[in-house]
């Protein structure tokens, strides 16, 4: 991020002349000093939008169309209805704000093509970067007792979250507090995007994965993140670069994180048929998430009071525990039976997807995201993300024999329908479209397909033929490799982009020459993280509601760099042996 650009935008925002009604002209009379109506929406407004820092930036940002008293009144009446109605008509409330959202145009990053370097980096330099990334993770554990991840709000929102998606979210989300926050965040983003404040909130950056601005990062811990830290440390051990003491510490950390994933974060739920399963919750009960006191105090005010389990955290945690050779009985559950109850069948249970943010995707055969807890709560409604479905396949392949998938027709059908979901997505080219993804970047899809492909190739030939008689995995491999080689590494990257490229290239057995641009990118930026680690924090995954919330952190970057470099190192050694 260019700090001079941000500073210039801040100066323009602070010195601009006010020429039209601002966010605060619309909202202050509705939410400040009122004792009736829904108390959450007023509390959220005061905490998230009317705080002194944001008010200073946005107090002069106005919308000319709100000088029309009819439009001004329509927006204010919608907010009053959201505040006062016992059973709000969210579609009607959202319409005047949706009309304003239609005036906002945001774009995804478009990195410029760059010439490819021809010289492969030295293996010694790759080894040094692996040691730097692994040391960052090991030392952080010793310092904190866990490896943190961070969340950061980007109030300008997601480029694909348009007026249609906004109305779909308002009507499809379940918790009123979450609807409140989605409503107000999206009203605020219009004032932000159409003023100089946009340059402060959303300055341009290098590559595709968005950097995370340090002052607004919220530290936390989740089983989903620990699962990938387990994979990173396992890849470090496999390189043979660690000292005996490093390996001892890494194994102790892996054991602790495995327990956190499958014991501390375990939660019992029931399917619609009443069958009980142990799954993994998105956020364990306090104090395990390790939130700071500040965020613990305000998270309920922001509408994040209830967390429920999800299919992705469950899949990745069980996969990591399997790779760590856990013997916990939770691994013996035929989890694919549970996923079958959350699988979309066109025309039969399509309402499973209540928040269709990516309705350009054919959902048939896909697994939805959120799991009802025992109390029946699902505050986020439900959506469907393609990358999550790769994780479901990956854990199913790792436990194929244990869960008797090939021997059980219903289980085999569930897996084959997920495979066909991916076939259609990739054949349409939709996998490379950011709009197709709810929580991830297309580049993440490519890296995660690599993980899934390796697990698939590890099956015996009989199992592979039963699951994929038509060669879908080889078809997808070709499409993903073409995207990574012709698009991702052929353009300007940041470190996180490069790590994802290496993970895809390494798992999919790409030719060594395609690794070169990503390796140079990582090695040239080693040390960019300054005091916080070898590398900066970048977007790993995101939420699109209630606004764009990025999740990542410098430790996440180190973990993904470690996994990518370990695969590149293996390819380099293999090439040397052939030579």
The per-residue pLDDT for 575 is 87
| pLDDT, tens digit (0-9, with 9 covering 90-100), for 294-305 | 555 555 555 566
Whether residues 281 and 294 fall in one domain: yes
Question: Does a structural domain hold residue 558?
Answer: yes
Tens of pLDDT along 482-512? 999 999 999 999 999 999 999 999 999 999 9
Q: What is the pTM of this model?
A: 0.94
Q: What is the pLDDT of residues 37-57, one digit of tens each?
A: 999 999 999 989 999 989 999
Beta bridge partners of 491: 113
Q: What is the mean pLDDT of the chain?
A: 92
Instruction: Based on the fold, state whether residues 261 and 171 are members of the same structural domain.
Output: no
488: in domain = yes
Q: Is residue 118 part of a domain?
A: no
Residue 292 sits in the same domain as residue 434:
yes
pLDDT of 205 > 70? The answer is: yes
Residues 45 and 142 in one domain: no
Query: Quick one: 473 and 540 in the same domain?
Result: yes
Q: What is the mean pLDDT of residues 418-426?
A: 98
Domain membership of residue 351 (yes or no) is yes
* Position 561 pLDDT exceeds 90: yes
3, pLDDT greater than 80: no
- Of residues 238 and 15, which shows the higher confidence score? 238
pLDDT at position 384 = 96
117 in a structural domain: no
Is residue 94 a contact partner of residue 193, using CB atoms and an 8 Å limit?
Answer: no
Does 100 lie in the same domain as 146? Answer: no
Residue 181's H or E segment, with its range, is helix 176-193
Nearest Cα to Cα of residue 343 among 374, 366, 319: 366
Confidence of residue 569 (pLDDT cuts 50, 70, 90): very high
Q: Supply the Cα-derived Rg of the chain in whole angstroms.
A: 24
What's the average model confidence in pLDDT over 218-239?
95
- Which tokens sit at 459? 């099956």
Band of pLDDT at residue 285, cut at 50, 70 and 90: confident
Residues 177 and 209 grouped into a single domain = no
Does one domain contain both 191 and 289?
no
Long-range contacts of 133-136 (CB under 8 A, 24+ apart): 133/534, 133/535, 133/558, 133/559, 133/561, 133/562, 133/565, 134/232, 134/233, 134/236, 134/241, 134/242, 134/246, 134/250, 134/558, 134/562, 135/246, 136/533, 136/534, 136/554, 136/555, 136/558
Host domain of residue 70: 3-109+159-199
- Residue 350: pLDDT band (50, 70, 90) is low
Q: 175: closest CA among 250, 258, 88, 286? A: 88
Residue 200 pLDDT class (50, 70, 90 cuts): confident
Please tell me the predicted confidence (pLDDT) of residue 363: 96
Nearest to 147 by CA among 60, 257, 236: 257
39: Cβ–Cβ under 8 A, 6 or more apart, which residues? Answer: none
93 lies in some domain: yes
pLDDT over threshold 80, residue 184: yes
Domain presence at residue 515:
yes
Find out whether 402 and 461 touch, Cβ atoms under 8 Å. no
* Cα(44)–Cα(415) distance, integer angstroms: 42
Q: CATH number, domain at 443?
A: 1.50.10.20
63-67, 198-202, 206-210, 340-344: range with lowest mean pLDDT = 198-202
Structural domain tally of the chain?
Answer: 2
* Band of pLDDT at residue 293, cut at 50, 70 and 90: low
More confident residue, 196 or 480: 480
Q: Decide which of 201 and 74 is more confident.
A: 74
Q: Is the dihedral of CA 42, 43, 45, 46 positive or negative?
A: positive
Query: What pLDDT sits at residue 336?
Result: 98
Q: Predicted confidence band at 288 (pLDDT cuts at 50, 70, 90)?
A: low
Q: What is the mean pLDDT of residues 216-230?
A: 90
Instruction: State the pLDDT at residue 379.
Output: 74
28 and 164 share one domain: yes
Judge if 163 and 242 occupy the same domain.
no
297 shares its domain with 398: yes
Domain end point (choices 199, 222, 255): 199
Same-domain status, 430 and 514: yes
pLDDT tier at 148, thresholds 50, 70, 90: very high
């Amino acid at each position: 991020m260019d700090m001079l650009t941000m500073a210039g935008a801040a100066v323009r925002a602070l010195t601009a002349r006010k020429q039209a009604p601002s966010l605060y002209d619309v909202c202050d009379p509705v939410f400040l000093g009122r004792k009736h109506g829904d108390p959450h929406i007023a509390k959220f407004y005061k905490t998230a939008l009317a705080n002194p820092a944001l008010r200073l930036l946005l107090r002069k940002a106005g919308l000319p169309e709100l000088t029309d008293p009819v439009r001004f009144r329509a927006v204010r009446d919608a907010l009053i209805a959201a505040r006062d109605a016992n059973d709000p008509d969210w579609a009607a409330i959202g319409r005047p704000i949706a009309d304003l959202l239609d005036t906002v145009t945001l774009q995804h990053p478009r990195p410029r093509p760059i010439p490819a370097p021809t010289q492969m980096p030295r293996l010694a330099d790759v080894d040094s970067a692996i040691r730097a990334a692994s040391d960052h993770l090991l030392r952080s554990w010793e310092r904190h007792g866990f490896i943190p991840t961070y969340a950061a709000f980007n109030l300008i929102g997601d480029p694909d979250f348009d007026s249609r998606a906004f109305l779909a979210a308002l009507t499809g989300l379940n918790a009123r507090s979450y609807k409140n926050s989605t409503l107000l965040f999206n009203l605020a983003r219009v004032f932000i995007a159409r003023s100089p404040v946009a340059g402060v909130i959303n300055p341009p950056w290098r590559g595709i994965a968005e950097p995370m601005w340090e002052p607004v990062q919220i530290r936390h811990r989740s089983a989903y993140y620990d699962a990938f830290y387990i994979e990173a440390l396992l890849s470090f051990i496999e390189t043979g670069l660690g000292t005996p003491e490093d390996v001892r510490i890494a194994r102790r950390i892996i054991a602790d994180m495995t327990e956190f994933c499958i014991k501390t974060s375990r939660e019992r739920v029931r399917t619609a048929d009443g069958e009980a399963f142990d799954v993994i919750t998105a956020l364990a009960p306090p104090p395990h998430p390790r939130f700071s006191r500040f965020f613990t105090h305000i998270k309920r005010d922001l509408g994040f009071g209830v967390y429920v389990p999800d299919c992705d955290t469950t899949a990745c945690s069980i996969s990591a525990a399997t790779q760590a050779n856990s013997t916990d009985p939770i691994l013996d559950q035929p989890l694919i039976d549970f996923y079958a109850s959350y699988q979309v069948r066109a025309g039969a249970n399509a309402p499973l997807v209540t928040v269709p943010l990516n309705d350009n995707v054919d959902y048939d055969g896909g697994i939805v995201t959120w799991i009802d807890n025992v109390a029946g709560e699902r505050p986020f409604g439900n959506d469907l993300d393609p990358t999550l479905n790769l994780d479901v396949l990956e854990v199913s392949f790792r436990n194929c024999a244990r869960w008797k998938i090939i021997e059980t027709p219903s289980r085999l059908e569930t897996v084959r329908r997920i495979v066909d979901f991916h076939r259609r997505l990739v054949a349409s080219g939709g996998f490379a479209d950011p709009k197709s993804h709810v929580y991830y970047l297309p580049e993440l899809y490519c890296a995660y397909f690599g993980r899934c492909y390796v697990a698939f190739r590890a099956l015996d030939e009989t199992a592979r033929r039963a699951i994929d008689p038509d060669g879908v995995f080889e078809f997808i491999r070709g499409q993903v490799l073409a995207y990574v080689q012709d698009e991702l590494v052929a353009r300007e990257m940041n470190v996180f982009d490069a790590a994802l490229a290496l993970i895809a290239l390494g798992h999919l057995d790409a030719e060594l020459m395609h690794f070169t641009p990503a390796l140079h990118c990582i090695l040239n930026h080693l040390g960019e993280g300054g005091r916080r680690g070898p590398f900066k924090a970048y977007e790993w995954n995101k939420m699109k509601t209630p606004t764009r919330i990025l999740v990542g952190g410098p430790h996440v970057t180190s973990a993904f760099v470690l996994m990518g470099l370990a695969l590149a190192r293996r390819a380099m050694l293999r090439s040397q042996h052939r030579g």
